[in-house]
Structure 1
Amino acid sequence: MFLSKKDNKVFIISIILVISIVLCCLIIPNSFSTIANKALTFLVDEFGWLYLISMTLFLIFSIMLAFSKYGNIKLGDDNSKPEYSYVSWFAMLFSAGMGIGLVFWGVAEPLNHYVAPLGVDSGSELAKRFAIKKSFMHWGLHPWAVYSILALSLAYIQFRKKYPCLISNLFIPFFGKDVSTKKIGKSIDVLAIFATIGGAATSLGLGTLQINSGLNYLFNIPENSMIQTIIILIVTVLFIISAVGGVDRGIKILSNLNVLMAIVLLLLSMVIGPTLDILNSFFIGLKDYSIDLILEINPFEKPDWYKSWTIFYWAWWISWAPFVGTFIARISKGRTIREFIIGVLLVPSIVSFLWFSTFGTMATNLGLAIANSAVSKTSTAFFIIMNNYPLGSSISIVAIILLCTFFVTSADSATFVLGMMSSNGNLNPNNKTKITWGILQSLLALSLLLSGGLSMLQTISIVAAFPFIFVILSSILCLIKFLSQENI
């Protein structure tokens, strides 16, 4: 057996949980879907205020900590140096945190807000501004604040305090140094593994759908189960090879390639698109977003629109926090707390703002008729919009390649993290463990894709991750207690 007895319990329980979910989806998909959707509706309706308050607190705390007296503390020994250059560090955290989602939603989300805005007429200039500022809100500082807090806490305890990188070890101040061996600790780690594999499998499925839709739109390749199975099999082989290669050889190289391709796609689109309008949307969007940040502080009396979009997004980012937070922690040794928070918050957010300004403006500038056509099927929205611009086919081909590389880096990062989580926080899990998780997440994605259960998996992941609101809030208290012991 490639896992020690100490690690087996978390690993085995996680495997049983994942297989049980798959079987329920395949055997009783309608009943299971109904239960999952009712649970999500209950959480959004009854605890939407908690999501809104918590996300605001995460952002405020991150900013305050960055500029506090603790900002110069290193995530590691005082003389430790960063393992990765800024370029590689940004590339890896961005690829793990959002990559494939930006390509999938870069056109689709602004179009949805443009077609059905809150409080203004659809298709109007105000609808365009609404579309950009809300895309900024959902993909900007807030999600990266969630990642930042959990990743910072994990990096601090593993590199500064020398504890294994396990979510359960964030509770050491409350339950003692052996918390990871207790029932509550194992329960936290199992939930973290499930949230991670759920989010990763959903991402794999969505990526597969968009790649298949793009190939169909451009080259008339059929959209069917056989093609989707082939896509997943090819990508699985690639991301397992990358994960087995480790962070330095596999994940870092592919992440750097991702960033280069994303920059090429973004610049090319800005040039062939309405460049002045894009720049105008960017700066006006920043202004509107800044005002929106203040208005969003009120968590009560929100229209139902927020339940479908903002609160759903906040729940979704929290469900991704165990995976992304653990991975960012793994690659952040040697950074100071201030350097870490500013880097994690600002750089990916600015890239997201440029991305949505570019593709959102290109989409909304085409008018309401094309917008309605494009949003009818999310996976093809990007390709429909690009088809209306010069070199649109070339941009779409680059986008498909970028989807594939983001696909691989998201999956190999998840595989690496799952290996860490199920190996007592081992920073370099063995290849058998990584291969096992790589195969399992692909089988999960494929089985749910074929049974139409991807949206159900996303819903279940979000429901299961609800307790992580309290985990992240607790990690703030844990971090404060640890930092108070520093000699500053």
Structure 2
Amino acid sequence: MTTASLITTTPEKVRLNPTVFYGSTALILLLTLALIAFPDAAGVWLGKAQMWLSRSFGWYYMLAIGAYLLFVLYVACSRYGNLRLGADDERPEFSYGAWAGMLFSSGIGISLLYFAASEPIDHLYNPPEGEPGTTSAARQALQLTFLHWGLHGWAIYALVGLAVGYFAYRHQQPLALRSALYPLFGERLTRGWVGNAVDCFGIFVTLLGLVTNLGIGSLQVASGFEYLFGMSNSQGALLTVILVMSAVATLAAVSGVEKGIRRLSNLNIILFSSLLVFVLLAGDTLHLLNSLVQNLGDYLNGLVLKTFDLYVYTGQSGKSEAWMGLWTLFYWAWWISWAPFVGMFIARISRGRTVRELVCGVLLIPLGFTLAWLSIFGNSALELVMNHNATDLGKAALEQPAMSIYLLLEHYPWSKVVIGMSICVGFVLFLTPADSGSVMLANLSRQGSELDEDAPYWLRIFWSMVITLVTIGLLFAGNFTAMQTVVVLAGLPFSVVLLLYMFALLKAMKSDLAASEQPTALPALPTQG
């Protein structure tokens, strides 16, 4: 049976969407110029704004994030899980192996290298509650790290990927953020100012996430060269790293999903897995395996509590609010800022999959590796700092997080070779989200074309250049931290769009399920004379 569409459209010739393109470009450039021209004033104002948000909307963020996770689990486990992103008889475009590989790489970026050792150590010395530097603080540190990288974030990606893909491939809407709002606002508004506003702000939020990714990536790779080759920690060296990384990412984006991004995903898995296995086997393997099981148990046991934990009863409300703003709320907003382009990319590669397949794939395929990585590297770092007097590692985690992973690896055999390999891992980890992000930004700022046709090359190159220039400007103005604060602020309004996606999906799925269960009318039997 073929599913009836909400609206049938004839493919148009691809062209620029001027409102979305110029509106989002102006928005990001105005913000960047303001941060560069007034770095001190902007930093102070944004710091106050972040504290106000943490104090006033922390409860909302925690409820919204919990709602996203519950919703995707519900639709996957219910009868809606059998609905397909496409016609009922349609089959997936990519093989399961290729799809799983691209899912793995789409949301795992270089930040996993950046925070693998530094975040648990930071939580050890600066816990939201309890005594710092104790074994209980170390145990809590891994529980919090798992929370920030766990199911909640992947649920956000699953929600956006499901919403965009469902309406694009099952109801023949454009592959755009606006399409998922059709059941609530109708065609006139989703193709008018409401749709333009959603796509425009989606580009803006995505750009913030990608700029943060490039900034972290360049600092990570530059720190590796500084450690390995003694390269000076200068603006010129950092500029060279940024330009090289951006150029390679642009080439990959131009090559498209089928070639560049899929090949990078496969390389990503091989390099990443090799580094993880090395640290596991070269370290105290039994301790690391025991710790992984313990960390997983702590995470699952405290999943409900930590989902809604605002540290109201710590007796240190100011300290806890500041910690929430720097860590948990920042992570939730960061996941939301990545959701438009990662979700659209997931939708782009998931045509023909069922709702249940998409949700389970997004929640489970990258998650298992992510938690194993954080546990093995995090516990290795904590062990060195707490029991082997690795003071340089502890200091770097707090003051220069990008260097911490290399100071950890120097305690292992063949450290120079392994650190060189980790720099390559970081470079490839940066490329996959960067090139897929450029493709999705270009797709959002155009209109017309076939559903699976990506935007023209020049548009992908344009967005790659904008990301590069904005990152360079902010890093050299010394106001990159301000951009991370803007990510938290921008995530707030877009979180409302994600809530609307839930209602729109539920409304459409109920209608589709009811239509599919309607018995087919039998032809009337001929009457006998």
Per the TM superposition, whether the score is higher than 0.5 is yes
In the TM superposition, residue 125 of structure 1 has moved relative to its aligned partner by 2.5
Partner of 1:409: 432
In the TM superposition, residue 114 of structure 1 has moved relative to its aligned partner by 2.0
Contact 1:168 1:186 in 2 (8 A): yes
- Cα distance in 1 for residues equivalent to 2:364 and 2:263: 23
Q: Does 1:372 align with 2:382?
A: no
Sort the Cα spacing of 1:452 and 1:107 in 2 relative to 1 into closer, same or farther, 3 A. Answer: same
Partner of 1:460: 486
In the TM superposition, residue 444 of structure 1 has moved relative to its aligned partner by 1.0
Q: Secondary structure at 2:280's aligned position in 1?
A: helix
Contact 1:166 1:425 in 2 (8 A): no
Contact 1:108 1:381 in 2 (8 A): yes
Question: Matches of residues 355-434 of structure 1 in structure 2 within 5 Å?
Answer: 355-368=373-386, 369-370=389-390, 371-375=393-397, 376-424=399-447, 427=452, 428-434=454-460
Q: Does 1:334 align with 2:352?
A: yes
Q: Deviations over 1:43-81 (max 9, x none)?
A: 221000011111111111111111101111111111222
Contact 2:106 2:436 in 1 (8 A): yes
Partner of 2:168: 158
In the TM superposition, residue 169 of structure 1 has moved relative to its aligned partner by 2.0
Higher mean C-alpha displacement, 205-214 vs 25-34: 25-34
Q: Deviations over 1:393-448 (max 9, x none)?
A: 22211111011111111210110010111013754111111111111111111111
In the TM superposition, residue 301 of structure 1 has moved relative to its aligned partner by 5.0
Gaps of 5+ in 2: 1-12, 313-319, 518-529
Q: Deviations over 1:254-292 (max 9, x none)?
A: 111101110011001111111111111110011100111
Q: Secondary structure at 2:384's aligned position in 1?
A: coil
Which residue of 274, 283, 301 corresponds with 1:273?
Answer: 283
- Cα distance in 1 for residues equivalent to 2:60 and 2:191: 30
Which residue of 61, 71, 80 corresponds with 1:61?
Answer: 71
Q: Deviations over 1:193-212 (max 9, x none)?
A: 01111110111011101111
Sort the Cα spacing of 1:431 and 1:337 in 2 relative to 1 into closer, same or farther, 3 A. Answer: same
Question: Matches of residues 221-240 of structure 1 in structure 2 within 5 Å?
Answer: 221-240=231-250
- Cα distance in 1 for residues equivalent to 2:485 and 2:308: 26
Amino acid at match of 2:198: I
Contact 2:265 2:432 in 1 (8 A): yes
In the TM superposition, residue 171 of structure 1 has moved relative to its aligned partner by 1.6
Which residue of 437, 441, 464 corresponds with 2:463?
Answer: 437
Contact 1:129 1:281 in 2 (8 A): no
- Cα distance in 2 for residues equivalent to 1:122 and 1:85: 48
In the TM superposition, residue 461 of structure 1 has moved relative to its aligned partner by 2.7
- Cα distance in 1 for residues equivalent to 2:427 and 2:80: 40
Amino acid at match of 2:135: E
Partner of 2:522: none
Contact 2:333 2:487 in 1 (8 A): no
Contact 1:166 1:424 in 2 (8 A): no
Partner of 1:92: 102
- Cα distance in 2 for residues equivalent to 1:287 and 1:55: 21
Question: Matches of residues 119-130 of structure 1 in structure 2 within 5 Å?
Answer: 119-130=129-140
- Cα distance in 1 for residues equivalent to 2:70 and 2:448: 29
Sort the Cα spacing of 1:99 and 1:296 in 2 relative to 1 into closer, same or farther, 3 A. Answer: same
- Cα distance in 2 for residues equivalent to 1:186 and 1:194: 12
Contact 1:148 1:345 in 2 (8 A): yes
Name which one, 1 or 2, has greater alpha-carbon Rg.
Answer: 2
Contact 1:166 1:180 in 2 (8 A): no
Contact 2:120 2:382 in 1 (8 A): yes
Sort the Cα spacing of 1:38 and 1:257 in 2 relative to 1 into closer, same or farther, 3 A. Answer: same
TM-score by length of 1: 0.96
- Cα distance in 2 for residues equivalent to 1:306 and 1:229: 32
In the TM superposition, residue 379 of structure 1 has moved relative to its aligned partner by 1.0
Sort the Cα spacing of 1:235 and 1:114 in 2 relative to 1 into closer, same or farther, 3 A. Answer: same
Sort the Cα spacing of 1:398 and 1:307 in 2 relative to 1 into closer, same or farther, 3 A. Answer: same
- Cα distance in 2 for residues equivalent to 1:34 and 1:464: 17
Q: Secondary structure at 1:452's aligned position in 2?
A: coil
Which stretches of structure 1, 4 residues or longer, exceed 4 Å deviation after superposition? 3-6
Gaps of 5+ in 1: none
Question: Matches of residues 131-142 of structure 1 in structure 2 within 5 Å?
Answer: 131-142=141-152
Q: Deviations over 1:202-226 (max 9, x none)?
A: 1101110111111101110111111
Q: Deviations over 1:333-383 (max 9, x none)?
A: 111111111110012111111001110111011134425323131110111
Q: Does 1:241 align with 2:251?
A: yes
Instruction: Let me know the Cα RMSD of the aligned residues.
Output: 1.8
- Cα distance in 2 for residues equivalent to 1:446 and 1:149: 32
- Cα distance in 2 for residues equivalent to 1:332 and 1:232: 32
Aligned pairs, how many?
A: 486
In the TM superposition, residue 388 of structure 1 has moved relative to its aligned partner by 1.7
Partner of 2:156: 146
- Cα distance in 2 for residues equivalent to 1:86 and 1:373: 43
- Cα distance in 2 for residues equivalent to 1:167 and 1:43: 25
Q: Secondary structure at 2:78's aligned position in 1?
A: coil
Partner of 1:200: 210
Amino acid at match of 1:373: K
In the TM superposition, residue 4 of structure 1 has moved relative to its aligned partner by 6.9
Q: Does 1:482 align with 2:508?
A: yes
Partner of 2:523: none
Sort the Cα spacing of 1:425 and 1:214 in 2 relative to 1 into closer, same or farther, 3 A. Answer: farther
Q: Secondary structure at 2:92's aligned position in 1?
A: coil
Partner of 2:327: 309
Contact 1:193 1:418 in 2 (8 A): yes
- Cα distance in 1 for residues equivalent to 2:56 and 2:91: 46
Higher mean C-alpha displacement, 117-126 vs 475-484: 117-126
Partner of 2:370: 352
Sort the Cα spacing of 1:469 and 1:27 in 2 relative to 1 into closer, same or farther, 3 A. Answer: same
In the TM superposition, residue 5 of structure 1 has moved relative to its aligned partner by 6.9
Amino acid at match of 1:430: P
Amino acid at match of 1:485: S
In the TM superposition, residue 160 of structure 1 has moved relative to its aligned partner by 0.7
Higher mean C-alpha displacement, 243-252 vs 74-83: 74-83
Partner of 1:16: 26
Sort the Cα spacing of 1:5 and 1:210 in 2 relative to 1 into closer, same or farther, 3 A. Answer: closer
Which residue of 26, 43, 56 corresponds with 2:53?
Answer: 43
Q: Secondary structure at 1:467's aligned position in 2?
A: helix
Sort the Cα spacing of 1:292 and 1:425 in 2 relative to 1 into closer, same or farther, 3 A. Answer: farther
Partner of 2:5: none
- Cα distance in 2 for residues equivalent to 1:353 and 1:403: 18
